[in-house]
């Protein structure tokens, strides 16, 4: 049954985009269920912003089709625009205006009447913890405050689908967590979030589904757990009753590495039960007793590295 309600918030097939002979998107398919967070993960230049720009009607794809909020991207672009909000990678606030003035201006652009304009502005200042800063020019804001105002501006028109392009790049951990809380509240209210990020931890925290973009293609897609399971191996962590046992075990297991007061061993080859059992047999034969053994599946960093061959360097921002 495909009632309006059960239609995905975003459905795209075969999106392509090139600049000259540089292929940026080489056939992208995406489906994002309503009321969920979908994270597009990729290194610098992978094509994240290009994807956001296409899906939010800012630029045209060379090929492919998409529906956003039930509207066809090509044939019903106005419907798409009326249903979405976009917080771009780089701040779009007016530095000379105050936070309140920025919001009032945006409410004007959305044709809210005088009362609604004031009311929505007050609500958003409150919701984004900007009441104290409301009358200050944005030029005096910290990066975190600016990012919150950016998102508040995006919400003036009460969009059902929100695109957040690297919303926390350059923020300190506390501001990042504050942004995550805001995203969670939005989703609890039924909004759909399309989030791009270079931070695996962010995708892990927020996203219902994650797609990894590399060289213009989606190289993996699934929940964080599903992605982690695609990577063979993982590691086991061993703890010992005392330091002497640990030292003895480390001598016997030459490939083990020390992590705090534990030893870490990669599960060899394919990560199957068989290879895990072979490893445990070796541990059984050790001259010392293993106090505690835990098996760890790979984390998203392992996944990203295995899929793209790029370590995820935190990028240096100029903001």
Ligand X SMILES: Nc1ncnc2c1ncn2[C@@H]1O[C@H](COP(=O)(O)OP(=O)(O)OP(=O)(O)O)[C@@H](O)[C@H]1O
Chain positions contacting Mg ion, by CB under 5 A = 48-49, 89
- Cβ closest to ligand X, residue 24 vs residue 153: 24
Contact between 47 and ligand X by CB under 6 A: the answer reads yes
Q: How far apart are CA 22 and CA 25, in angstroms?
A: 9
Do 296 and 289 meet the contact criterion of CB atoms below 8 Å apart? no
Binding part of the chain for ligand X, among 46-54, 61-69, 227-235, 298-306 by CB under 6 A, reads 46-54
- The residues near 83 (Cβ < 8 Å, ≥ 6 apart) are 68, 69, 70, 71, 159, 160, 161
Do 178 and 148 meet the contact criterion of CB atoms below 8 Å apart? yes
Among residues 44, 223, 272, 310, which is the contact residue for ligand X, using CB under 6 A? 44
Residue closest to Mg ion (Cβ): 49
- Cβ closest to ligand X, residue 28 vs residue 93: 28
- The residues near 138 (Cβ < 8 Å, ≥ 6 apart) are 93, 94, 95, 96, 97, 98, 99, 102, 146, 149
Contacts (CB under 6 A) with ligand X, residues 72-111: 89
- Cβ closest to ligand X, residue 171 vs residue 249: 171
Contact between 285 and ligand X by CB under 6 A: the answer reads no
Q: What is the SS3 assignment for 15-79?
A: EEEEECCEEEEEEEEEEECCCCEEEEECCCCCCHHHHHHHHCCCCCCCEEEEEECCEECCCCHHH
Contacts (CB under 6 A) with ligand X, residues 178-217: 198
Contact between 308 and ligand X by CB under 6 A: the answer reads no
Q: What are phi and psi of 315, to 5 degrees?
A: -90, 150
Do 206 and 180 meet the contact criterion of CB atoms below 8 Å apart? yes
Binding part of the chain for ligand X, among 41-49, 62-70, 103-111, 301-309 by CB under 6 A, reads 41-49
Binding part of the chain for ligand X, among 8-16, 48-56, 121-129, 251-259 by CB under 6 A, reads 48-56
Sheet with 10-19: strands ordered across? 22-32, 10-19, 63-68, 71-72
Minimum separation from the CB atom of position 142 to ligand X (A): 21
Instruction: Say which entry of Mg ion, ligand X, none residue 308 contacts (CB below 5 to 8 A, set by partner kind).
Output: none
- Cβ closest to ligand X, residue 15 vs residue 183: 15
Instruction: Say which entry of ligand X, Mg ion, none residue 294 contacts (CB below 5 to 8 A, set by partner kind).
Output: none
Binding part of the chain for ligand X, among 3-11, 43-51, 127-135, 306-314 by CB under 6 A, reads 43-51
Which residues in this chain contact ligand X in the complex, by CB under 6 A? 19, 24, 42, 44-50, 89, 198
């Amino acid at each position: 049954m495909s009632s309006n309600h059960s239609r995905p918030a975003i459905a795209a097939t075969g999106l392509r985009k090139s600049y000259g002979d540089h292929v940026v998107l080489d056939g992208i398919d995406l489906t994002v269920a309503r009321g969920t967070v979908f994270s597009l993960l990729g290194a610098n230049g992978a094509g994240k912003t290009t994807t956001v720009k296409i899906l939010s009607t800012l630029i045209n794809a060379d090929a492919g089709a998409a529906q956003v909020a039930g509207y066809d991207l090509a044939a019903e672009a106005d419907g798409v625009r009326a249903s979405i909000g976009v917080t771009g990678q780089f701040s779009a606030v007016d530095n000379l205006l105050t936070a309140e003035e920025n919001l009032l201006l945006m409410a004007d652009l959305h044709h809210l009447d005088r009362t609604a304009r004031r009311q929505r502005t007050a609500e958003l200042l409150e919701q984004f913890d900007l009441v104290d800063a409301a009358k200050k020019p944005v030029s005096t804001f910290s990066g975190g405050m600016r990012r919150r105002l950016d998102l508040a501006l995006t919400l003036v028109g009460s969009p059902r689908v929100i695109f957040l392009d690297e919303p926390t790049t350059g923020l300190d951990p506390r501001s990042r967590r504050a942004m995550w809380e805001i995203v969670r509240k939005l989703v609890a209210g039924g909004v759909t979030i399309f989030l791009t990020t270079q931070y695996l931890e962010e995708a892990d925290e927020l996203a219902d589904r994650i797609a990894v973009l590399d060289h213009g293609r989606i190289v993996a897609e699934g929940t964080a757990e599903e992605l982690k399971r695609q990577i063979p191996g993982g590691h086991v962590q061993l703890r010992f009753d005392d330091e002497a046992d640990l030292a003895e075990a480390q001598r016997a297991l030459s490939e083990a590495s020390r992590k705090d007061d534990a030893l870490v061993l990669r599960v060899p080859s394919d990560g199957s039960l068989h290879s895990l059992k072979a490893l445990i047999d070796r541990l059984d034969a050790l001259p010392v007793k293993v106090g505690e053994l835990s098996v760890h599946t790979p984390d998203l960093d392992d996944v990203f590295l295995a899929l793209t061959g790029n370590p995820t360097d935190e990028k240096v921002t100029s903001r």
